[in-house]
A and B are shown apart, each in its own frame.
Chain A
Amino acid sequence: MEATTRKPAANAATTMKPKYEKDLRFKLIQDFDLIKPKDAATGMIVDNPYPPTRIIASEGVAKDAKGEYRQWRYIFGYKSVWVDEQSKPAPTKNQINSEKNDIIFKNGHLLVKKADLALIQALMLNDAFDGNEDPVNEIPKVFELIDDNASARKLRSLSDISFAAESEARTCSLEVMLPIAQLYGISTTDDEDIIRTQFIFQAKQNPEKFLENVANPKFKVKFTITEALKRGLINVTDGKIVYMETGKPLFEVNGNGDVAEQIARMVLMNDDIAIKLIEQLELNLKG
C-alpha cells in the first residue's frame, strides 16, 4: 500500500514519521456551493466550492505516544513539532512569527511536500484533521487527506453511473420512459424522439438521481393515475376515487392534494384495492 493512501491510525503522527512516496494533498471537508458566487456570464460557480483562504492552527495540544497531553507547534525548519523538543536552540520571536509557519488552505486545498515531515505531523495532530481519531478536543473535522486511489475509484464510479444512466435513457422502453419523463416535467404528448432527447439530457444532468428515479416504482403508478385522470378513466367525487366504467367509489382520497401521490403510496403499502385499480388502469391505458 502506498504511504500516501494510508489512513493514519489514531494519532499515528505521534508515534511514527513515515517516509512518504509522494507529496500529500489535503482538502477541506465542508463546501459552500449555495453561497459561492456564480459567473455572471454563465451562471456557473466560478472556481470551487471552498473558502478562498482557510488558516489552520499551527499549534495545539495532542496526545503523544504515551497518551499524555503534550504541546505541539509547527516551526518551519524544526524537525520536531513537540514544543519541549524545540529548545536547542529555542526559536526566536521572528522564527515563531514567520509566515513559513502559516498553514493555509488556498481554495480548499493544501499541497505538502513529502519531505516536510514536521508539517505533515502537525496537520495530522490537529484536532480538526479528519484522520485524527483520538483528538484532545472534539471539534468538527475541517480537513482531510486526499486518498488518490479512492479519488480515482470515485471518479470511475461516477463515470460508470453516468454511462449507465445515459444507456438507460437511450434504450429504455416507452413504458419506462414516460413516467420518468413526466416527473422531469417533459411533455409526454410530444413525439417520442423529442421526449427521448430531453430524457437523455436529464439523465446526463444528474445520472445518480436519474437511475434512482427509474428504479422507483412509485413514478410509474403516479404516471398511470395521472393519465387515467386525464383520460377520464377515474375521477375524484366527494373525496372518493371513482372508477368511471362502473361508477363505483373505491376509496377515500384528499381531492385537494396530490391524488396520484396518495394512490402511489397506497400501492407501495400493498393496499389491495389500490393495486387492483392500478392493474386495471394499466390495461385500460394499453387498450
Chain B
Amino acid sequence: MAITIPNSTPANFSDPSINRYGLISGLNIVNVHAYDRFYDTFGFAPYTQLAMMQNNFRKVENKQFLWYQSHGRTMGFVTASAAVTVANGAPATITVGAGSYSQSGTKSLPALGYVFHNSRTNVDSRVSAVPNKTTANAHTFVLTPLLAGQNASVAIGDELLGRGFVYVGDQSDKTDTIIKTIDKYSNYCTQLRTDDEISDLADAERIEFMINGQHSYTLKQMRDTDLRRMFELDYLIFEGTRADNLPYVEEGSNGVIKQVQANGINMDYTSWSLATFATMNRALNAVGAPKEYDFLSDDSAMTEIQNSIFTEINNGGIIYSQPGKRGGIDLDRDYQSMTIYKRKYNLGHYGLFDEQTTYGSTGLGARNRFSLLMPVGTTSTSYGENSPTVSAPRLSVNYQTPFNQNRWHVKENGLHSDGGGTKAGRIITTIGYFGAEVIGAQQFLIAKGS
C-alpha cells in the first residue's frame, strides 16, 4: 500500500545501498540527475478547505456545540389517524395521526375554534370540541363543517391544514396560543491528530530529489502529512460519525452525510434521467429549498448525470463553431452547471466519494453513484445581546482552540527542536479539533443510485 503507519524513521531511505551518495556506482555518477525529480502523482481539492476559504468556519467555545432551528413551517397541519364517516353538516371526532405531535405526544395543534382545511376534500371545518388532549399520542378533536351542506368526514392520513382562528364572532374570547416548536441540534468537535517522528539520521540522510529546493527528508514527510491531513479532515467533516464504543471517553462527531441522512432528503434512483431531476426538484421545493446547489458527485454519478443532460439538450448542447479557430474546434460536452426547473446545480466531481481515486483500492463502495447536494449561500441568524442579524453559511466547519492555540496546533519535541526532550530527532505533532454544523439539513439532499 502507499503509506505505512507508524511513520517513524523513513524505512524507504534507510538502506545505504539505495541512495547514499558515497556508495553510488560509476554508472550512477553519470545518470544521478535522472533521479532528482519527485512527482506528486495524486492531488486533491478539499471541499473543507474551500469552505474555510469562503469564511465558512466558526470557533466554538465548547466541545459540544448547539444550534437552534425553527421546527417545520409557519403554518401547521395534522393528519387523521383513521377514517371517520359522518353525515353532511355533522361533527366528526378525529384522532390526531402519528407525526402530528410534539413533546413526546403531549402537544398537538387542534384547539377549540381553530379552523382546518381538508386538503383532499377541500372542506373547511371548525374545531367544535377537544375531548382529549391529555392522553399522549391519542389526542382527539371534533370537526364540524363550516357549511351545513358539506361533510367533515376524513380518510386515514387526510391532511388537515390549519387556517387559524377565523370567523370567531362578536366579543370573542381569548384563543389558545400556538407555539412553534424550536429544534435544538447538537454536534461535537473531535480530534484529528498527526505525529511525525523524524530521527536525526533521517534528516541527515539527504534524499536524492529536492522538495522546495532542499534535500531534506523532513520537508517531504511534512508535505505528505499535510496532504493526508486534508483528506482526513474532509472525511471527518463529511463522513464523521458519533462513536459509542471507543475504549476512552470520546463522542466522535457527526459529519455532513450523517446529518443529512437523519434530517435531510434522501433519494434513491435507478438510472439518472430528467424524471430524476423532476423528482428531486419536487422534493426540494417541498422544503422551501434555495435556488442554487453545489452538486458533489462521485465519478459514476457525475458521468450518468452529464449523460442524462446530454441526451436531453438539443444536439447534445455542443458548441459547433468557435470564431478564430482553424483546423477544427475544441469539442466540449461537459456541463459546469445546469439550471432546471428554476434551480441551479453546480455540477462537481468530488474525489472523496471515489474510493478508487482516493485510495487506489479496487472496490466501488457505498459512495459509488453517490451525490451530495449542498445549498449555496447563507442563511440569517443573530447571536449575542443586541447583535444584528448576520449571514451564516449552510455548512460551517466548527473548530476549537484548547489553551488558546491555533486552529491547527503544531508542536515540536525532541533534541533537535525547541520543544525540549533528549531523543535525537524531532517529533512534530499537529492536532486540530473540528466538527460539522449543518444549518437546515432539511434542504440538503443525498442522491444514491442503486
Lowest 6 CB-CB distances: which A-B pairs, in order?
A32-B262, A37-B183, A35-B262, A40-B182, A55-B267, A57-B268
Question: Known contacts being A97-B274, A97-B275, is A142 close to B258, with CB within 8 Å?
Answer: no
CA distance A39 to B269 in the complex (A): 33
- The answer to whether B283 and A104 touch across the interface, beta carbons within 8 angstroms, is yes
| Chain B, interface SS category | mixed
* Interface locus among B24-32, B94-102, B164-172, B209-217: B94-102
A111 is an interface residue with CB less than 8 A from chain B: yes
A109 touches B98 (CB 8 A): yes
* B269 near A57: Cβ-Cβ < 8 Å: yes
Contact among B186, B259, B283 for A53, CB-based, below 8 A:
B283
Tell me the nearest residue of chain A to B186, going by C-beta: A38
CB pair B103 A106 closer than 8 Å = no
Q: A40-B184, A51-B262 are in contact. Are A34 and B242 (CB under 8 A)?
A: yes
Whether the Cβ atoms of A55 and B156 lie closer than 8 Å is no
Q: Residue A149 at the B interface, CB < 8 A?
A: no
Chain A residue numbers with a CB within 8 Å of B156 are 23, 111
Complex: how many Å from CA A106 to CA B286?
11
Number of interface residues of B (CB under 8 A): 42
- State whether the Cβ of A107 lies closer than 8 Å to any Cβ in chain B: yes
Task: Decide: B103 and A39 in contact? CB cutoff 8 A.
Answer: yes
Residues in B425-450 with C-beta less than 8 Å from chain A: 442, 450
Interface flags for A91-106 (1: CB within 8 Å of B; 0: not) read 0010011010110101
A44-B103, A47-B101, A139-B450 as given contacts; A39 in contact with B263, CB under 8 Å: no
B19 contacts chain A at the CB level, 8 A cutoff: no
> B157 to A52, Cβ gap below 8 A?
no
On chain A, the residues within 8 Å of B287 by CB distance are 52-53
B108 CB to nearest A CB, Å: 11
Closest B residue to A61 using CB positions: B270
- Decide: A142 near B268, CB < 8 A? Known: A37-B185, A53-B283: yes
Verify if A41 is at the interface (C-beta below 8 Å from B).
yes
Q: In the complex the two chains form, is B99's CB within 8 Å of A42's CB?
A: no
B7 on the interface (CB 8 Å rule)?
no
Which residue of chain B has the shortest Cβ distance to A72 in the bound complex? B270
When the two chains form their complex, are residues A35 and B103 in contact, meaning their CB atoms are under 8 A apart? no
Q: With an 8 A cutoff between CB atoms, is B379 at the interface?
A: no
The answer for the CA separation of A61 and B271 in the assembled complex, in Å, is: 11
Q: Does B282 contact A (CB under 8 A)?
A: yes
B99 contacts A48, CB within 8 Å?
yes
